[in-house]
Amino acid sequence: MKITLLILSLLLGSCSFIYGHDFTQYVNPFIGTGAVDQYSHAGNNFPGATLPFGFVQLSPDNKDYPDNPCSGYDYNNKTIVGFSHTHLSGTGVEDLFDVMLMPAIGDIKQANTNPENAPSGYSSNITHDQEKAKPGYYQVNLLDYKINVELTATEHAGFHRYTFPKSSESHILIDMNHSIPKTIDWLPCRMIAQIKIIDSVTVEGYRITTGWVKGYRRVYFRAEFSKPFKSFAMINGTEKIASQQLANGECVKTLLDFNTAEGEQIFVKVGLSATSNENAHLNLRTELPGWDFDKTCREAENKWENELRKIMVKGTKEQMEIFYTAMYHAFTQPNNIADVNGDYPATDMTTKNAPDKQHYSTFSLWDTYRAAHPLYALIQQERTASFVNSMIRQKKTFGFLPIWQLWGLENYCMIGNHAIPVIVDAVNKNIQGIDIEEAYEAVKASSLVDHPYSPFTVWEKFGYIPEDILSQSVSITLEMAFDDWCVAQFAKKLGKTDDYIRFIKRANFYKNLYDKQTNFFRAKDKNGNWLSPFNPFKYGDNGNSPYTEANAWQYLFHVPQDVNGLIGLMGGPNAFIAKLDSFFSITAGMSEKN
Amino acid sequence: MKITLLILSLLLGSCSFIYGHDFTQYVNPFIGTGAVDQYSHAGNNFPGATLPFGFVQLSPDNKDYPDNPCSGYDYNNKTIVGFSHTHLSGTGVEDLFDVMLMPAIGDIKQANTNPENAPSGYSSNITHDQEKAKPGYYQVNLLDYKINVELTATEHAGFHRYTFPKSSESHILIDMNHSIPKTIDWLPCRMIAQIKIIDSVTVEGYRITTGWVKGYRRVYFRAEFSKPFKSFAMINGTEKIASQQLANGECVKTLLDFNTAEGEQIFVKVGLSATSNENAHLNLRTELPGWDFDKTCREAENKWENELRKIMVKGTKEQMEIFYTAMYHAFTQPNNIADVNGDYPATDMTTKNAPDKQHYSTFSLWDTYRAAHPLYALIQQERTASFVNSMIRQKKTFGFLPIWQLWGLENYCMIGNHAIPVIVDAVNKNIQGIDIEEAYEAVKASSLVDHPYSPFTVWEKFGYIPEDILSQSVSITLEMAFDDWCVAQFAKKLGKTDDYIRFIKRANFYKNLYDKQTNFFRAKDKNGNWLSPFNPFKYGDNGNSPYTEANAWQYLFHVPQDVNGLIGLMGGPNAFIAKLDSFFSITAGMSEKN
């Protein structure tokens, strides 16, 4: 493949019309949505409609209480229960699935309130022959109802076009209970919701919900319909009440009824906000004042084209699909959760305002600090400044930078404080729009204030993390040393010598877990004894092992800040090269694979 | 007793200096704080410092997880674990107890995290000989620590004066975990909290907590100290970390350390807000810019004097104490939860602004619509307008008026929609500052939109509440009919004839449950059959009985809207008088008493 990196991204807006949709054509949103054989997993991606880094990501969900894949959609599952407006892409834990709409015909089966028995509810069969997806657009034919569904999106709004058959029993359902399963102990999903019928073409509502984050997600919506519904019913729990205009409850839905002619199209626009119904309305009328679905699709595709053409590669069609779909996935998050006026939900449950109208969330930093963020720092420089500013805002209310931030809230998932390398990289690349002193203060606080998986008091006392104090100790030690090296570089740049000395010392703590007997990084207890037995192939998950989603072999080379130091520990270049070679040729017994 | 009601409340401000503290001297805040013998209950009142209708109600709590009495303080329990800033007075369910401070000496015992074993923690013994309370002031000597504690309050701030002995181990603890028990299934208390050390004289924090309300209570504070603490430690869960400046967690506390000379006084001012830390700070600096504790006490006492003198009675000292303490309790809530700038927490988890700077909450309407609110409508007319406007604001976001509103949120406790008589009474008394059309819209919505214990669809279908559809059916039927009569009067006043006809018809539904065989209001099932067996002495609690906290005898006379109708049902004046006489003379078997 040949790669051309366009640095002058300012020129790109005008270029798109010269080149046409050269690159979106290679994006296949179904890549990553399903296991291809019994040995593989789904990529946990979703096929629905979104803008680059968009807040609304409108996509089909297979079942009432999506869990696996985390995106809600499995290509191998040929049912759809509805179309919800928010999704995670590629994560290892499920959440979101907010504000689900579903068109249907005839008697509506109530969704099963028992997640054990899902799927059920309003679901329809589909066939992939009658399903399409491209950047900013998704289409499927609901076979049970003979309804064709098309979806597109703006940053804060979903746009639905439903083509109905002739029927006096056509419906559109809004389900505010649709969520992750409500039965997972470590992922407690509690719901308080409201739906309010404003008039015969307008519905509003909200829900406050818990799940992956240790906090309360607020989700507000306003839905506008192109055709008045002839009647409606509110469903509160298991009770269905005709003409009930408002319901508050743990499980609320509304059913809107229409007469439709053969081929009649009904459009629904749904504005979302994380701060208020007023802002959901503002977002909607700002971004989607009219009803031109095709125009919205074209604008979405153009926005994707402008992002994707930032790297121009040539290769086989398959290579081009793999490359541009991966790039599409890279630009699917983080998401700007601020409203068009800049309001965003702060970690302290207040609403604050971002002057740049951007507050990004979905920071899965353990996964993204190595590759995705360095890429953004090259070809998403303006957004990188906004990413950094969003992270600094978390520090102001929460006390430290994001680790895994979802919907503006922290879930402490995974180890390390890898907002630090992202910020230091941005500062070193001289990305504009970042307050350097504020950034440094946030970086330093995140390296000194103890928080889950970051016991800095222990770190400075022992010079490593003892496994009997905190598990995943080898991985934490290696990653914390790297983050500390980044802090040291930042301190040096700002001439903060005392800080530099403190953090560069900590950056070398990784050496304290190098075992010259086995030539691996290995766990110690708080008395300084190596833990036995030791097996460098033994895989650790997320606890009860010194290694995080890896083994001692895989963590052996995680000293990016001091490759020469690592070479020295191993006994010099030859020993290092031999070890590196072995890493690519060793075969572990099947029992040690994951 | 001779009673003089002063209608011209405008004159009262200037009067207070003429009369001196004639009336506050009769208030005994310890009345209602403990059972006087084995046959009585506590009144669930608290002895601490508050202004009339104040947001902050700073009072001692006996134990770590207060449950009974609901006020946190039992006169018969001679330990105190700390002083928290919010309390309920006279309720039947416990909640609040926000932001607890406790001064102590020496080694601090961690509070027991297991509520089953409470009391424990930092508690000290006390003796009532060394305890005092009057309106706006509370004092106690903590015997274990030899610390004298004095408390006073402004509307949004608590003011503490601690007189320490000589010690190099003096402490003040801030406990953000202190709450109702965390083990009650139907009252699930979940906590997310933060404490942040701002500098050596300032601490901020917040907590988002669940409990009695079906929602999330936000509580923010800012504490300022008259003397810098020499050191501090953060306690997060069971972990105590020296010099840790910030903690987020489910159970967070901070311990501040001081050297004190014999008799040294340390003052703490704590501003509270239900919307943000910024507003907690604003409230504090607006209401308590200085450190004059005695002046704050005097101002508090003057404010009470001005309220209490609205009714002037003469009697024995005991009669005066009973009367003015009851009046003091009547003016202890509802509470203005709006910040000094008018910001308040709306039911949809947004922060909204009340132009009149007042948003009242703690509306225990089933308990207060018969006597307390009619009293307020006479002698708290300005506040009555604000009460009504606060109720209307709930309707705007929540869809209907308060039933039992706590911290701006609804808990659906008890039956009926008794904001309606309060509002209609205010309108009929021509109380100024109420938007009549908005009030009517709110009243009507609250009489038509089904919500818990108010199934209007069932009401209009059957003409009564069938016990097999919803329990407490006789009480709900009688109370709903009364509320409907109030709606009808309001409709009539506004010339809304159709509404008048609809609601006056519903106001007569009470007749459908009058059983001429037994001459009592009695439950029917949905087929119209009287439920048997019937025993007019049988007490009902809050469900599983047709009667709510009463029996058929007690509900027999609950037709305040149509006494002549009730006389007719009973067979005329003579039969009615005989029944009424019986009511005062009957004796039920002990087994039927409650």
Residue ranges per structural domain of chain B: 37-310, 455-594
Angle of CA points A328, A330, A333, to nearest 5°? 105
What is the chain A residue with the closest CA to B206? Answer: A348
A7 touches chain B (CB under 8 A): no
Q: Which CATH architecture has domain B455-594?
A: Up-down Bundle (1.20)
Element (H, E) at B499: helix B497-507
> Minimal CA–CA distance to A364: which of A413, A326, A433?
A413
What predicted TM-score, i.e. pTM, was given to this entire model?
Answer: 0.94
Q: Is B387 exposed, middle or buried (0-12, 13-18, 19+ CB in 10 A)?
A: buried
Helix, strand or coil for residue A570?
helix
B-chain CB neighbours of A410 within 8 Å are 248
Inspect the interface and report whether the beta carbons of B398 and A245 lie closer than 8 Å: no
Using the Cα atoms of residue B417, residue B422, residue B426 and residue B429 in order, give the sign of their dihedral: positive
Cβ contacts of A277 on chain B, cutoff 8 Å: 348
* Distance (Å) from the alpha carbon of A399 to chain B's nearest alpha carbon: 7
Q: In CATH, which of 3.30.420.10, 2.40.50.140, 3.40.50.2300, 2.70.98.10 is domain B37-310?
A: 2.70.98.10
Identify whether A374 is preceded by a cis peptide bond (ω within 30 of 0).
no
* Tokens linked to A218: 């607020």
- Residue A411: how many CB atoms within 10 A of its CB? 21
Residues of B in contact with A241 (CB under 8 A): 450, 457
List the single best residue of B191, B236, B450, B469 to mutate versus A (max A Cβ within 10 A).
B450
Across the A:B interface, residue pairs with CB atoms under 8 Å apart total: 78
Q: Encoding tokens for residue B437?
A: 């059309």
Cβ contacts of B244 on chain A, cutoff 8 Å: 449-450, 457
Chain-chain contact of A348 with B276 (C-beta, under 8 angstroms):
yes
Q: How confident is the model at residue A2 (pLDDT cuts 50, 70, 90)?
A: low
Given a cut of 90, whether residue A498 has pLDDT beyond it is: yes
Confidence band for A121, pLDDT divided at 50, 70 and 90: confident
Average pLDDT over chain B reads 93
Instruction: Quote the pLDDT of residue B237.
Output: 87
Predicted confidence at residue A14, as pLDDT, reads 39
The amino acid occupying position B553 is W
Cβ burial, residue A36 (10 Å; 0-12/13-18/19+)? exposed
Helix (H, G, I), strand (E, B) or coil at A245: coil
Please determine, for the modelled complex, whether the ipTM score is greater than 0.85.
Answer: yes
Question: Is the pLDDT confidence value at B2 over 90?
Answer: no
pLDDT over 90 for what percent of chain B? 86
Instruction: For residue A215, give both structure tokens.
Output: 């906090």
Q: Is B398 on the interface with A (CB under 8 A)?
A: yes
Q: How far apart are CA A98 and CA A55, in angstroms?
A: 12
Separation of alpha carbons B55 and B273, rounded Å: 9
A214 in B contact zone (CB under 8 Å):
yes
In terms of CA atoms, which chain B residue is nearest residue A204? B397
SS3 string, A416-428, reads: CCCHHHHHHHHHH
Asked if A136 contacts A151 with a C-beta cutoff of 8 angstroms, the reply is: no
| Residue that the structure tokens 């599952």 belong to | A77
State which H helix or E strand residue A105 sits in. Answer: strand A100-105
Q: Residue A396: CA atoms inside 13 Å, Cβ hemisphere, count?
A: 15
B489 CA: distance to closest CA in chain A (Å)? 24
A381 touches chain B (CB under 8 A): no
**Which of A164, A157, A154, A314 shows the shortest CA–CA distance to A229?**
A164
Of the candidates B206, B218, B399, the beta carbon closest to that of A248 is on: B399
For A248, the closest chain B residue by CA position comes to: B398
Burial class (CB in 10 A: 0-12, 13-18, 19+), A162: buried
Judged by CB atoms closer than 8 Å, whether chains meet at A194 and B450 is answered as no
Largest CA distance in chain B: 80
Q: Are A543 and A412 in contact (CB under 8 A)?
A: no
Which residues in chain B have their CB less than 8 angstroms from residue A208's CB?
215-216, 349
DSSP string, A298-356: HHHHHHHHHHHTTEEEE--HHHHHHHHHHHHHHTS-SEE-S-TTSEEE-TTS-EEE-TT
Strand (E) or helix (H) holding B343: strand B343-345
Residues of A in contact with B449 (CB under 8 A): 244-246
- Cα(B147)–Cα(B163) distance, integer angstroms: 6
Query: What number is the average pLDDT over the span A345-367?
Result: 97
CB contact (8 A) between residue B276 and residue A350: yes
Query: Nearest-CA neighbor of A474 among A552, A392, A410, A382?
Result: A552
To probe the interface with A, which of B348, B407, B446 has the most A CB atoms within 10 Å? Answer: B348
Tokens 């040294």, located at residue: B264
**pLDDT tens per residue, range B81-111:** 999 999 999 999 999 999 999 999 998 875 5
Q: Which amino acid is at A143?
A: L
- Helices B563-570/B573-585 angle, 10° precision: 90
Contact yes or no for B449 and A276 at CB 8 A: no
- Percent of the residues in chain B that have a pLDDT greater than 70, as a whole number: 93
Nearest CA in chain B to A192: B215
Whether residue B399 and residue A241 make contact (CB cut-off 8 A), yes or no, is no
pLDDT band at A321 (very low <50, low <70, confident <90, very high): very high
Contact across the interface for B220 and A348, Cβ inside 8 Å: yes
Question: Contact A60/A140 with Cβ under 8 angstroms?
Answer: yes
The CA angle B152-B71-B48, to the nearest 5 degrees, is 15
Please check whether residue B348 is in contact with residue A194, taking contact to mean a CB–CB distance below 8 angstroms. yes
Rounded CA separation A164/A162 (Å): 6
Q: How far apart are CA A401 and CA A429, in angstroms?
A: 20
Q: What are phi and psi of A494, to 5 degrees?
A: -95, 5
Q: How far is CA B211 from CA A214, B2, B95, B109, in A?
A: 17, 44, 7, 26
Is there a contact between A194 and B220 if contact means CB atoms under 8 Å apart? no
Question: Mean pLDDT across the stretch A348-373?
Answer: 97
Could you tell me if B215 lies within 8 Å of chain A, comparing CB atoms?
yes
Residue A96 DSSP SS3: coil
Q: What is the DSSP letter of A529?
A: P
What confidence tens digit (pLDDT) does each residue in B356-411 have?
999 999 999 999 999 999 999 999 999 999 999 999 999 999 999 999 999 999 99
Indicate the burial class of A317 (C-beta count within 10 angstroms; 0-12, 13-18, 19 or more). Answer: exposed
- Which of A210-214, A477-481, B48-52, B138-142 has the lowest average pLDDT? A210-214
Establish if A359 touches chain B: CB-CB under 8 angstroms: no
**Amino acid at position A264, single letter:** E
Q: Which residues from chain A sit within 8 angstroms of residue B453, using beta carbons? A: none
DSSP A24: G
Asked if B241 is an interface residue toward chain A (Cβ–Cβ < 8 A), one would say: yes
Q: Please report which confidence band the pLDDT of residue A86 belongs to, taking 50, 70 and 90 as the band edges.
A: very high
Residue of B nearest to A188 (CA): B190
